[in-house]
Amino acid sequence: MPPFEAPGSRTLRFEALWIFKEEIERAGVIAEVEAHTSQPIGKPLHKHEGHIEVDDTSVRLIEGEYKSSVEKSEISGLQVSYDQSFQRLRDSRGALPPMHFSFGGDQVYLFTRKSRLDGWQGQNEDLFKAIAGT
């Protein structure tokens, strides 16, 4: 199933889980254990749950009433991989790495899914292309 696109707009919307780099550093052992025991069918390490919206110029992380907007021109380092902050065996069971990117001194790690029947994954070609502008 493709991501939701609002009629008459070029905005793509994805169901998403995410966590910022500094939140990983403060997460502690309990969060790591929860991430390990909930996978592969549960949720990977995260602090926020909501949606990510992408249009021609910006990316928005939406959690309830909270919205964080980032201009695409401010995004760097977009990739799907583990790194020193979000580690394969510490923060997940190692099956699916997160998508992550940097902006304004922050780094965010995220997972999406196409439908409630699908598992959470970092590799989402539609989202990657929408953010990268390809």
Q: Which domains, from first to last, does the chain contain?
A: 10-132 (2.30.29)
Q: Which residues contact 43 (CB under 8 A, 6 or more apart)?
A: 17, 35, 49, 111, 120
Type of residue found at 83: D
CB atoms within 10 A of CB 38: 15
Task: Give pLDDT tens digits for 50-88.
Answer: 999 999 999 999 999 999 999 999 999 999 998 888 876
- Average pLDDT value over all residues in the chain: 82
Task: Give pLDDT tens digits for 27-45.
Answer: 765 656 565 555 555 678 8
pLDDT exceeds 70 at position 102: yes
